Structure 1
Amino acid sequence: MVTFFEASIEQLSIHRIGNKMQDEFYVLSEEPLKIEDEFLSKLLLQYFLKPFEKINEVYRLIHSSDNLDLNEIFHFCTSIFDDAGCFHENSELMAKYLYEVSSHPKIKSGELYVVLFKNVQIEGELLDALGIFKSETKDTYLKILPVQSGFEMEYEESGIDINKLDKGALIFKTEKELGYKVMVADQTNRSSEAVYWKDDFLKLGIRNDSYNQTFNTLGVYKSFITSAVEAEFEVTKADKIDLLNKSMKYFKDKDSFDIDEFSREVIGNTIAIESFKTFKSNYEQEFSTEISDSFDISAAAVKSQTKNYKTVLKLDKNFHIYIHGNREFIEKGFDDGKSMNY
């Protein structure tokens, strides 16, 4: 979704953020970093922006009061977008704010990079963007150097792998009134303490567009088929795979989703249709997420969900059947001659 062929770094400030709970402090740089080496600039663009090439989900900056001005990151970003001359000052404020919300004892200290980009492309549009990144993981690197008699080896500790961005956010200078377009990368989001980046620091809400509507509907339907259906109805594994294949075909063939049309063409059974709609309603209430009954289908979201839709029927540990066709071509029975199920 993001490309950076034409992107450039306009300003870059680096600060160090300690963990407040560990009695560590923050260290602020006095001025932005001047980058005069063209190769270093290219490496930094790769380090900061390449992780976003395969990310599709777009967020918004939000606040629980619905007053965006109370979202600290929104305030800092708006100040920079309005006047690039106050970039470094606001990068310092971001560093102090991140330090204050780094309240979990397991949060790692690290460097905070605040970057002002030009010409980053998102959804076909070239925009200015503000990048906020944090490096937490350090690696040791070996260096092989030629000498007269052959080679010698050195090592460098506490280096940063440019192919492993720990945390990042891109905030695009567009749709300000909605909370900007925001994309997030977080390589440590499996741990409970890592949610501070999205929830406490950035305060994000999912953009409720066609991508998320498509992605969530496919996810809800898959959960319904793989969990609820078996509890309510008598279905075989082949039947469940067939229902998943039908739904994926619907989303690939259609330009828009309509829940009544989808229910008729994919589910068919009246009782199961009502069960699915109830399941969807319960999901919306549980996760405070509204999924419309009709919306334009996002091809990118369908592609993203395809990998989550399994079409493999496991017969036993030695035999699996990949099902891509019609359920009617599958027959289950018992072979009297071989005394085996088929």
Structure 2
Amino acid sequence: MIDSEFAQIREVSAHYIGNRANGDSLRLSEAPIEVDDERIQQLLRTYFLSNFGTPAFYTFTFSNEDFKLNPIYQFASQIFKEPGSFHENSVNLAKHLYEATQHPNIKPGELYIAYFQSVEVQNDNVEAIGIFKSENKENYLKLSHQFSLHADEGINVKKLDKGCLILNREEDEGYKVLIVDNINKSDAHFWKHDFLNIKPRSDAFHHTQNFMQLTKQYVEDQLSEEFSVSKADKIDLLNRSMEFFRSNEEFSKADFEVNVLGNVDVIESFRNFGNDFMANNNFDVIDHFEISAQAVKKQARIFKTVLKLDKNFHIYIHGNRELIEKGFDEVTGKHYYKLYFDNES
């Protein structure tokens, strides 16, 4: 999604963010880091940009008020309009992150602020501001030319802990924002909500992702409570849902209900569950939208189509539900599945 080959890192500032809740300090640098060396530029491009893999765009918000009150939105706007204010606003960002670090389990670490030129995002060449936090270090060994061995620790440039890329696009709508957040359970809302204060954009990716999450949740949590269905039936419904999204470019809720759910009672149950699901998660309720292939690919990883039988068998169900039958053997007192197939491979 991001082509960083020709991206230029105009400036980088670094600060140390301790855990305020634990009494740790905030250490601020006095000037940007020198990054003129091309090898350093290449390593930083890899570290900063290579982990943004899906087009899940967000936008700044501010507790249901005017997004322009969001401090990060304000700092980013100043940098884009006055590049000479970059380091000053990197300090402001560091102070804002330090103030947001209220949970004792949030890890301290280095904060990098970068100002990019010529970042290509979905074939759009843009300026961008990056905010990156490094929390985890890795040990490494280095053998010198004199064959002495040294141990140290540093950053793995292919593993970004937390990141935010603010694109200089659609300023009047809160900017287009991308994030990376390798979440710890203790700081699940920290980066996205407490610090950045962002919300998903109303676009094809999020509409597709939200509806597929709704479908998965309904099948797993609600369907068997209201209807007599087997595990194989639930997997079949997930398979048909996935096929619907893979084979269509436009989503129509009415078509989905008829072609995937079919049963009138199931449709009614699904609508009721969906209304609550969308409201509880603050998702937009959209009945027609363009299907995002990237979102479908991402959600396919969590659509489980494996039938697990005790600890002895796993049956992967990919197609025709009618080719698998469930029964009960009274002699052995055990359930069984009967599978029909043409060829064995």
**How far has the Cα of 1:182 moved from its partner?**
0.8
The answer to whether residue 149 in structure 2 is matched with residue 153 in structure 1 is: yes
**Runs of 4 or more above 3 Å deviation:** 333-342
Secondary structure of the residue aligned to 2:326 is coil
Equivalent residue letter for 2:16? R
Residue of structure 1 equivalent to 2:290? 296
The answer to whether residue 109 in structure 2 is matched with residue 110 in structure 1 is: yes
Secondary structure of the residue aligned to 1:235 is coil
Return the match for 1:320 from 314, 322, 328: 314
Q: What does the per-residue CA deviation read over 1:299-325, in whole Å, with 9 as the maximum and x for residues that have no partner? A: 111111111112222234222222122
Residue of structure 2 equivalent to 1:97? 96
The answer to whether residue 174 in structure 2 is matched with residue 175 in structure 1 is: no
TM-score, L = length of structure 1: 0.92
Residue of structure 2 equivalent to 1:34? 34
Q: 1:285 to 1:334 in 2, by over 3 A?
A: closer
Contact kept in structure 1, 2:68 and 2:174, CA below 8 Å? no
Secondary structure of the residue aligned to 1:247 is helix
**How far has the Cα of 1:334 moved from its partner?**
5.6
**How far has the Cα of 1:31 moved from its partner?**
1.6
Secondary structure of the residue aligned to 2:222 is helix
Return the match for 1:263 from 245, 249, 257: 257
Contact kept in structure 2, 1:18 and 1:25, CA below 8 Å? yes
Contact kept in structure 2, 1:216 and 1:291, CA below 8 Å? no
Mean CA deviation greater in 137-146 or 299-308: 137-146
Q: 1:234 to 1:338 in 2, by over 3 A?
A: closer
Contact kept in structure 2, 1:15 and 1:95, CA below 8 Å? yes
Rounded to whole Å, the distance in 2 between the matches of 1:327 and 1:104 is 49
Mean CA deviation greater in 94-103 or 297-306: 94-103
CA RMSD in angstroms comes to: 2.0
Equivalent residue letter for 2:126? L
Mean CA deviation greater in 239-248 or 135-144: 135-144
Q: What does the per-residue CA deviation read over 1:238-276, in whole Å, with 9 as the maximum and x for residues that have no partner? A: 111111111111111111111111111111110110000
The answer to whether residue 330 in structure 2 is matched with residue 331 in structure 1 is: no
Contact kept in structure 2, 1:146 and 1:152, CA below 8 Å? yes
TM-score, L = length of structure 2: 0.92
Q: 1:103 to 1:316 in 2, by over 3 A?
A: closer
Contact kept in structure 1, 2:60 and 2:67, CA below 8 Å? yes
Q: Percent identity?
A: 44
Q: 1:265 to 1:199 in 2, by over 3 A?
A: same
Rounded to whole Å, the distance in 2 between the matches of 1:65 and 1:223 is 27
Equivalent residue letter for 2:181? D
Residue of structure 2 equivalent to 1:134? 133
Secondary structure of the residue aligned to 1:164 is coil
What pairs up with 1:177-326 in 2 under 5 angstroms?
Answer: 177-187=172-182, 189-193=183-187, 195-326=189-320
Mean CA deviation greater in 20-29 or 93-102: 20-29
Aligned residues: 336
Residue of structure 2 equivalent to 1:87? 86
In the alignment, structure 1 segments of 5+ residues that lack a partner are: none
**How far has the Cα of 1:331 moved from its partner?**
2.4
Mean CA deviation greater in 129-138 or 324-333: 324-333
**How far has the Cα of 1:236 moved from its partner?**
1.1
**How far has the Cα of 1:335 moved from its partner?**
7.1
Secondary structure of the residue aligned to 2:151 is strand
Contact kept in structure 2, 1:111 and 1:134, CA below 8 Å? yes
Q: 1:38 to 1:173 in 2, by over 3 A?
A: same
Residue of structure 1 equivalent to 2:343? none
In the alignment, structure 2 segments of 5+ residues that lack a partner are: 338-345
